[in-house]
Structure 1
Amino acid sequence: MLRVGLTGGIGAGKSAVARRLAHHGAVIIDADVLAREVVAIGTPGLAEIVETFGAGVLTPDGDLDRPALGAKVFGDETARRRLEKIIHPRVRARTAELTQAAPPGSVVVNDVPLLVEGGLTSAYHLVLVVETKRDLRIRRLEETRGMSAGEAAARMSAQADDARRRAACDVVIENNGTVDQLNGQVDLLFRERLRPFEEHLRHGTSAPVGHELHIAEPDPTWPEQAARLIGRIRHAIGAEAKVEHIGSTAVPGLPAKDVIDLMVAVHTLDEADALAPRLAEAGFPRREGEWADNARGIPGETWPKRLHGNADPGRPVNLHVRVTGSPGWRFALLMRDHLRAVPAARDEYAAAKAAWAVEHADRFAYGEAKEPWFDAEALAADDWAEATGWQPGA
């Protein structure tokens, strides 16, 4: 199943997006609903809250008096953390139960208001954020929740700002217009990305990447995108995993195909093969066939590796799994660092890319045309490494 995280600031319209996703058959797991469920009357959660904060946090009916509890934890970091230790593990456990109970082939959407603040983004295959202009959010909170403008602004300030959420999320859903406009965005997203993503994930296949070549202008968000992908890979195979952003998208200011190249370092190719199922479950299935076992995709090349793609049709990825210390592993790091450090080499490569793109409309032919440049780059980079004392991973 596809696990999707959904978040957004208070008043942004996250619930409206969740409703539209449910309309398409997505299984919605609302963290706010679960947070209430695990401390309902008669639950161990409520008993622990009373034991920790006293009977004064109960209503006359024995339910949780949320304003009274809020008064105890507001502005008290220690008290807030004690409360979180009671509620959060129970919410996580209940979330896991509901996720496991979802039918095969489901798109499971976790609606989590503080997903970014809690550092939870790497646990999902994809993270969506609903974003709305500040003044519109305040007006909505005044109209729907009876807050004053000051209260709304204070609640908003206590959460991550838009820039932080945007950097941590894969898809931004703008909610500054009508309900129909919002629903149109969600419909398109579900049809063209979420459903195909789930299907590729279920079948263990990578989303296809067309043969047509397009060289994009440098995108300053490429490193952010790579960081999100790396976080998911480490969540799947271990936080200590050595994962690097390599290739042209890792070099600031360099035009490139809009494909993120990443590299996982392993001790042996047997280890790479053992990791393959976990990578596939995280959304990075093994890519078989042409170019899968070569360092740069040249038939007869002697730099073996394992190559994985991305099940997400919205983000092409080449995930190279190479043995630490191997020639391919070293060259990938050296080329990246050389082009980052020597602007003239980067600019020469950019000019060459532009010329090759004019000559070749097919990305495979384009790749073959680059090989003489790679040979020259290897020599120049080695000279640079010797002159500077460069070491891989230093």
Structure 2
Amino acid sequence: MLRVGLTGGIGSGKSAVAARLVERGAVLIDADQVAREVVAPGTEGLADIVAAFSDAVLGDDGALDRVALGAVVFADEKARRRLESITHPRVRARTAELAAAAAPGAIVVNDVPLLVEVGLAPTYHLVIVVQTAVTTRLERLARDRGMGRAEAERRIAAQADDARRRAAADVVLTNDGSLADLHDAVDELWRHRLVPYEDNLRERRVVLPDRVDPAGTDASWPEQYERLAARIRHTLGSDALRIDHIGSTALPGLAAQDVIDVQVAVRSLADADGALVDRLAHAGFPRVPGHWWDVPRPAGSGRWEKRLHGSADPARPVRLHVRVAGSPGWRYALLMRDHLRADPDQRAAYLLLKRDLVDAAPEAGDSGTARDPWFDEEYLRAEQWAEQTGWRP
């Protein structure tokens, strides 16, 4: 089951995206609808709210008077937290029930207006943000909801801004054009990312990159890593002793293969071979078949074993290296990254080496770089730098 978070500011057209995804076959869970359901007349949720805030928050029909409740809680932080302690667990439980009822191969879309504000992004395999110019949103709110400009501006200002949403987004759908344009974008996303992602997830299939050569740079690589790390941290909790961005995409301005290298530190390889395998696979990071180890530095110092996972997301290849915290391979990955970050000349030499290797063997890409003699020399330079600067992992 692929879990997708969908969000966007008021008036962005998020509901239109949700409706189109349902037409394509998605199972939709509407957070606003669930929030109303758990406090409907006759529910324990409503009874607990009345017990906490009195029957002054009820309307004449016995239903929750949201305006009256809002007047009580929004100006009182303690009251708001008390309300959240009543509603949030029920919303989470009901959402989990609805998701569990979906078919095993379903694409489940959670429509959550405040997904970013409440920090839910790491709980999904993928987050879609619908983004629309503020002027367009104001026009839609006036036309479609009869909302005055001042009220519309107040509601927009109360939500996360576009920059914060983009930072949480794996996919940004821009909705400044026609409905047909929006539907085309959703259909493209459905066919080429969501459906194959779900299939890869179910089959525990790892995505391999389309290109093997260091084609260019992407300033968003660190931001993409942060989203991946947040998902891994949410999945593994304290079993991940440390998570780091390593490899070429962790080096500023370096042209690299478009694969994010992530290092996860664990207590032992036995831990890595236990429940972590399934937990990572369910989160979208299946184990890569085979046995994996790093080339030791200096040569002849024994094989540095590790475990390797990848990504099921067809649009975001990942190499997830699981190494024991404090082991030589774990330390070496961090040392190389930090030394190359600090030394632009060696960073440039590293890029030239990768390009030469790709020219010599295009089918292998830069996968053979670790065995090149340059790395033996770079290891010595990095160790000298570490000693001179007092570097520690």
Q: TM-score range by the shorter chain?
A: over 0.9
| 152 and 178 in structure 1: CA distance in 2 versus 1, 3 angstrom threshold | same
Q: Structure 1 residue runs of 4+, over 6 Å off?
A: none
SS at 1:237's partner residue? helix
Q: CA deviation at 1:296?
A: 5.4
Q: CA deviation at 1:32?
A: 0.2
Partner of 1:24: 24
Could you tell me how far apart the structure 1 residues matched to 2:134 and 2:207 are?
36
Partner of 2:98: 98
Could you tell me how far apart the structure 2 residues matched to 1:130 and 1:78 are?
32
Could you tell me how far apart the structure 2 residues matched to 1:340 and 1:372 are?
20
Could you tell me how far apart the structure 1 residues matched to 2:83 and 2:250 are?
42
Partner of 1:263: 263
On the 8 A contact 2:209/2:258 being kept in 1, the answer is: no
How many residues in Structure 1 have an aligned counterpart in Structure 2? Answer: 386
Could you tell me how far apart the structure 2 residues matched to 1:240 and 1:152 are?
45
Q: CA deviation at 1:374?
A: 2.0
Could you tell me how far apart the structure 2 residues matched to 1:91 and 1:46 are?
13
Partner of 1:33: 33
SS at 1:42's partner residue? coil
Q: CA deviation at 1:361?
A: 2.7
Amino acid paired to 1:35: A
Amino acid paired to 1:330: R
Could you tell me how far apart the structure 2 residues matched to 1:360 and 1:318 are?
21
Could you tell me how far apart the structure 2 residues matched to 1:322 and 1:315 are?
22
Q: How does 1:220-239 map to 2 (within 5 A)?
A: 220-239=219-238
Q: How does 1:45-84 map to 2 (within 5 A)?
A: 45-84=45-84
Partner of 2:3: 3
Partner of 1:339: 340
Deviates more, 1:159-168 or 1:81-90: 81-90
Q: With structure 2 as the length reference, what TM-score do the two structures score?
A: 0.94
On the 8 A contact 2:358/2:365 being kept in 1, the answer is: no
Q: CA deviation at 1:183?
A: 0.7
On the 8 A contact 2:235/2:280 being kept in 1, the answer is: yes
Partner of 1:312: 313
Q: How does 1:25-174 map to 2 (within 5 A)?
A: 25-174=25-174
- Structure 1 residues without counterparts, runs of 5 or longer: none
Partner of 1:195: 195
Could you tell me how far apart the structure 2 residues matched to 1:368 and 1:21 are?
42
Could you tell me how far apart the structure 2 residues matched to 1:68 and 1:365 are?
63
Deviates more, 1:237-246 or 1:136-145: 237-246
SS at 2:366's partner residue? helix
Could you tell me how far apart the structure 1 residues matched to 2:338 and 2:350 are?
14
Residues 174-204 of structure 1: CA deviation (Å, up to 9, x unaligned) = 1111111101111111111111111111111
Partner of 2:388: 387
SS at 1:108's partner residue? strand
- Structure 2 residues without counterparts, runs of 5 or longer: none
Amino acid paired to 1:111: D
Let me know the Cα RMSD of the aligned residues: 1.8
Amino acid paired to 2:197: F
